[in-house]
């Protein structure tokens, strides 16, 4: 990492081997083989910088935040709030108070559904989703539907996994009050045209929530350019710790929303008659948060921005193209999801072999992939497969690892021949 800032000017410079050295886990072996980690879409590995930030939080700078008058508490508070500032800049949010720390993207979506949804949506209002949402952007809306009687609409994708924009437009009506969609599909890699979708949604009078879980590790994100009303992501997919997530919300919306949970830290005064809520974002952060997690996320953001999201994106696109060619060259391997401009996720099936058997065999070659429905069962139904194998590429993956995958897949074919 040290060498990179000096070469910042050169957009083509990408020293993947140096990056790999920053991730200690990548030098371990699995079943006697070098680890080939191709499951970053589920959760990414952590660079030393993140591990160090978490360690030093606990070893040197830990105390509860926002409470103590003593030095350490003040220090921890500064670090925690400093991490919020980093998230703000990372997303290009207008104000730091628009950044709410949550446990995860899942909690962030649940927060919006429970707080914004219960207050501002009513019976008969429609929430428009896409067919390729993660369960975490489906179930909270179904729970709200069952509770208050909103309706859910689903914009389908075509056979390559690209969103049917014609259908999206058609489903967007004056009844649509919220469009909640992923920026990039975790099951297929499809990248949705969220800028245009948000524009259309706003024209129709709807608010927009973007699930940025898979987008933030792979491309520069600007919530103001998207004009997202809400934007959520999880720290652990961005090379940061798990247990920390982010909700970005436009200040005027967050201010109008009721609290999500009650407790300490989210109030200014409490008596048994009445409590006065703290200003945003603290209104939504009841209880002691994941302090070290937020600080670790700040370190992860520093790490990826020092390397540069553009560079990471270029590297991953080149690698995805390479991997696509390699996989398509293997007899019996079929890619599921080939939308133009898709991100670094390769979902595929192997003829005559169940994805779980593929996963087990690859594991024995040291290759970690996901096999299953990827928490996106509607996607599996759409493509009429019970499950797929998914190789997802991150900033540290190499062509050599793709070759290892291809070689192991040929072995799978041999075993099941």
Partner 1 sequence: MSELRDLYQEVILDHAKRPRNFGRPERFDHEAHGHNPLCGDKVDIFVILGEGGTVEDVRFEGRGCAISMASASLMTELLKGKTETEARTLFEHFHEMVTHEAGGDALPDAAPDDLERLEVLAGVRQFPMRVKCATLPWHTFNAALASERADGVTTE
Task: Name which position in 36, 38, 54, 105 contacts ligand PLP (CB under 6 A).
Answer: 105
Cβ neighbors of 125 (< 8 A, separation 6 or more) are 150, 151, 175, 176, 177, 178
Task: Between 79 and 237, name the residue whose CB sits nearer to ligand PLP.
Answer: 237
Task: Between 369 and 409, name the residue whose CB sits nearer to ligand PLP.
Answer: 369
Rounded least distance, CB 210 to ligand PLP, Å = 10
Task: Name which position in 292, 375, 402, 405 contacts ligand PLP (CB under 6 A).
Answer: 375
Selection from 360, 358, 365 nearest residue 29 by Cα: 365
Could you count the other beta carbons within 10 Å of the beta carbon of residue 269? 9
357 binds, among partner 1, ligand PLP, none (CB under 5 to 8 A by kind): partner 1
Interface with ligand PLP, residue 388, by CB under 6 A: no
Round to whole Å and give the CA distance between 356 and 363: 10
Interface with ligand PLP, residue 104, by CB under 6 A: yes
Interface with ligand PLP, residue 136, by CB under 6 A: yes
Interface with ligand PLP, residue 134, by CB under 6 A: yes
| Choices 167-175, 208-216, 311-319, 347-355; region in contact with ligand PLP by CB under 6 A | 208-216
Round to whole Å and give the CA distance between 344 and 332: 21
375 an active-site residue? yes
Cβ neighbors of 90 (< 8 A, separation 6 or more) are 216, 221, 301, 305
Task: Between 259 and 293, name the residue whose CB sits nearer to ligand PLP.
Answer: 293
Task: Name which position in 179, 371, 395, 409 contacts partner 1 (CB under 8 A).
Answer: 371
Round to whole Å and give the CA distance between 207 and 288: 30
The radius of gyration of the chain from alpha carbons, rounded to an integer in Å, stands at 22
Selection from 290, 289, 307, 259 nearest residue 112 by Cα: 259
Round to whole Å and give the CA distance between 162 and 160: 6
Question: What does the binding site for ligand PLP look like in residue numbers (CB under 6 A)?
Answer: 104-106, 134, 136-137, 182, 186, 211, 213-214, 234, 375
Q: Which active-site residues does the annotation give?
A: 375
Question: What does the binding site for partner 1 look like in residue numbers (CB under 8 A)?
Answer: 352-357, 360-361, 364, 371-373, 380, 386-387, 415-416
């Amino acid at each position: 990492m040290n060498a990179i800032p000096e070469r910042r000017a050169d957009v083509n410079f990408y020293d993947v081997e140096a990056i790999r050295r920053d991730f200690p886990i990548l030098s371990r072996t699995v079943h006697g083989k070098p680890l080939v980690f191709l499951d970053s879409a589920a959760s990414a590995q952590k660079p030393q910088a993140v591990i160090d930030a978490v360690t030093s939080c606990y070893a040197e700078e830990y105390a509860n935040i926002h409470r103590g008058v003593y030095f350490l508490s003040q220090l921890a508070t500064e670090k925690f709030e400093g991490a919020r500032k980093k998230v703000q800049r990372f997303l290009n949010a207008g104000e730091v108070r628009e950044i709410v720390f949550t446990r995860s993207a899942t909690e962030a979506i649940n927060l919006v559904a429970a707080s914004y949804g219960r207050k501002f949506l009513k019976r008969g209002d429609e929430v428009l989703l896409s067919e390729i949402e993660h369960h975490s952007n489906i179930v909270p809306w179904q729970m709200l539907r069952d509770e208050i009687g909103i309706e859910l609409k689903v914009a389908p994708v075509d056979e390559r996994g690209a969103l049917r924009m014609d259908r999206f437009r058609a489903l967007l009506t004056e009844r649509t009050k919220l469009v909640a969609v992923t920026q990039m599909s975790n099951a297929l890699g499809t990248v949705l045209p969220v800028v245009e979708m948000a524009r259309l949604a706003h024209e129709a009078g709807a608010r927009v929530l973007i699930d940025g879980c898979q987008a933030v590790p792979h491309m520069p994100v600007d919530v103001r350019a998207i004009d997202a009303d809400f934007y959520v992501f999880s720290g652990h997919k961005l090379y940061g710790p798990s247990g920390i997530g982010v909700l970005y919300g436009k200040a005027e919306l967050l201010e109008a929303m009721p609290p999500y949970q009650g407790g300490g830290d989210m109030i200014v005064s409490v008596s048994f008659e009445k409590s006065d809520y703290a200003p945003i974002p603290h209104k939504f952060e009841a209880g002691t948060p994941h302090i070290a997690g937020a600080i670790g996320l700040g370190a992860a953001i520093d790490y990826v921005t020092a390397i540069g999201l553009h560079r990471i994106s270029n590297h991953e696109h080149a690698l995805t193209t390479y991997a696509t060619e390699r996989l398509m060259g293997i007899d019996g391997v079929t890619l599921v999801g080939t939308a133009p401009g898709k991100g670094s996720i390769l979902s595929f099936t192997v003829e005559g072999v169940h994805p779980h058997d593929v996963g087990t065999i690859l594991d024995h070659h040291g290759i970690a992939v996901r096999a299953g429905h990827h928490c996106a069962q509607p996607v599996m139904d759409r493509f009429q497969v019970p499950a797929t194998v998914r190789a997802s590429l991150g900033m540290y993956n190499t062509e050599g690892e793709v070759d290892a995958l291809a070689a192991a897949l040929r072995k799978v074919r041999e075993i099941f021949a």
